[in-house]
Amino acid sequence: MTRFFNGNQIQLLRNGADYFPALEAAIQNAEHDIYLQTYIFEADNIGISIANALKNAAHRGIIVNVLLDGFGCKDLPKAFVKELEAAGVQVMFYRPKISPWTLKKSRLRRLHRKITVIDSKVGFVGGINIIDDYNVPDNMPPRIDYAVRLEGSLLPMMAASVHKLWRRMAWTHLQPIILDAYKASITSTHSSDTSSSNTKNNIKAALVMRDNMLHRRDIENAYLAAIAQARTEIIIANAYFVPGRRFRQALLKASKRGVNVKLLLQGRMEYFLMFATHAFYNIFLKSGIEIYEYRKGFMHSKVAVIDGYWATVGSSNIDPFSLLLAREANIVVQDKVFANELRTDIMLSIQDGTYHVSAQDWAKGHAMKRFASWLAYGLVRVFVGIIGYSKEQ
């Protein structure tokens, strides 16, 4: 069951234009320690800018711990990493062995969450990697993505999570753990917890994590509980949307009882397996679920708004890889102002750059897409089945 806490200040950040200045400012104001954990860290102009901020923090004596995914950062230049380390930034890679010749489950258990905690007082959670929004082909508009900046009662939980994973990785990498960082974080955690009662924005929110141990279904269950309680509207904007049976049935039941269900999905296929999303178009459209494909550029969003009150922003896609394998982090908010701000932004994207897929058009045409979708979905089932999770699809 999702645990909500009052006493949070939460700011919605749209795209890198909002996110990176806020992140860099927080890094510059760090006093004790910085924990940054991300799937992709690109050595482009944004990556260099954030790296410089981290290096400057390390020069000031701040403890800076950066955990990168071994697959997402496989192309990150070694010289770039060495420069960070030379400046005093501690860098580790999560599951760096990514051989394509193995079918071991661990190869797909990635660090997909994007979470930063600074002094246990300020946190960032979302779907935005450390990469320039304009790092896209053909001069397209910047990719759409979201994150949140947090202060308040959720910070102790966030801090405990990043500290625990860092200590675990340090142990597996046989690296020393600097105890001062942990002591400083404990001190600032108490400070954050004490001041949270005086927060101006008393937002009710939960931090929902997914791992392969005690929290395997937490993110999916948070979605399912909210969908089951929906009465008027469900809006989901998700880049990689291949829901399992339980998720599909929840959406179909919601639509059947009169809930207006809107799906904003990626219209530009980056990978062949993304065609698996189309496998469910027919049944969704016949059941009255609205489907919009964003085609103006790339959409990397992993957000949702339900009944203008419940909202989530995070790193988790709605596909087997995020919901069954990867480490993910989402913030779930129960607040009308925040939810409506996010809803307004999603609706602007729907109005500005999408193609509305109708049941008639899908039934009459798109024969090749339908064939490709079932081929891709079959491959996803086989792939996920090989690693032991086929019963849920």
Active site residue 32: no
The packing angle between helices 45-59 and 78-86, to 10°, is 20
Report d(CA 294, CA 133) in Å as an integer: 16
Q: Which of 32, 33, 55, 112 is catalytic?
A: 112
Active site residue 97: no
Do the beta carbons of residue 33 and residue 163 sit within 8 Å? no
Q: Is 54 helix (H, G, I), strand (E, B) or coil?
A: helix
CA distances from residue 21 to 70, 130, 167, 198 in whole angstroms, order as listed: 26, 12, 28, 26
Report d(CA 257, CA 240) in Å as an integer: 26
Report d(CA 257, CA 244) in Å as an integer: 20
Q: Which of 69, 163, 302, 345 is catalytic?
A: 302
Q: Which of 32, 55, 69, 114 is catalytic?
A: 114
Q: What is the CB neighbour count within 10 angstroms for residue 194?
A: 9
Active site residue 114: yes
Residue found by looking up tokens 């600032």 in the block: 188
Through-space distance between the first and last CA atoms of the chain, rounded to whole angstroms: 23
Q: Which of 300, 319, 335, 345 is catalytic?
A: 300
Which of 216, 290, 217, 279 has its CA nearest to residue 251? 290
Q: Which of 193, 307, 336, 369 is catalytic?
A: 307
Sign of CA dihedral 122, 127, 130, 132: negative
Q: Which of 32, 33, 69, 119 is catalytic?
A: 119
Q: What is the dihedral of CA 373, 376, 379, 383, to 10 degrees?
A: -120
Active site residue 300: yes
Q: What is the dihedral of CA 165, 166, 172, 176, to 10 degrees?
A: -150
Characterize 333-354 residue by residue with b for buried, 16 or more Cβ atoms within 10 angstroms of its Cβ, and e for exposed: bbbeebbeebbebbeebbeebb
Report d(CA 371, CA 296) in Å as an integer: 24
Instruction: Give Cβ neighbours of residue 357 (< 8 Å, ≥ 6 apart).
Output: 281, 285, 291, 292, 293
The DSSP output letter for 123 is E
The DSSP output letter for 32 is S
Active site residues: 112, 114, 119, 300, 302, 307
